[in-house]
């Protein structure tokens, strides 16, 4: 099998996520958001402030149904 074919198969595997329910998708989005915030924040105080704001935004939209988008 050629290297290009192997690359395409691996790429297809990672581009096609497992079927996740809405709660799992939101949880992953929240965790990814925290990781990005952690890589961006200069110190822990900034991280804590922004993480609190992020959590508030998620809580603000927690009653929106999954099929409303």
Q: What is the pLDDT of residues 26-42, one digit of tens each?
A: 999 999 999 999 999 88
Exposed / middle / buried, residue 31 (Cβ in 10 Å: 0-12, 13-18, 19+) = exposed
The pTM (predicted TM-score) of the whole model is 0.66
Q: Are 30 and 50 in contact (CB under 8 A)?
A: no
Q: Looking at the predicted structure, is the pLDDT value of residue 16 above 80?
A: no
């Amino acid at each position: 099998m050629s290297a290009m074919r192997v690359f395409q198969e691996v790429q297809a595997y990672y581009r096609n996520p497992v079927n996740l329910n809405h709660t799992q998708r939101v949880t992953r989005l929240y965790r990814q958001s925290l990781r990005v915030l952690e890589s961006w924040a200069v110190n822990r105080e900034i991280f804590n402030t922004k993480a609190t704001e992020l959590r508030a935004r998620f809580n603000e939209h927690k009653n929106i149904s999954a099929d409303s988008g």
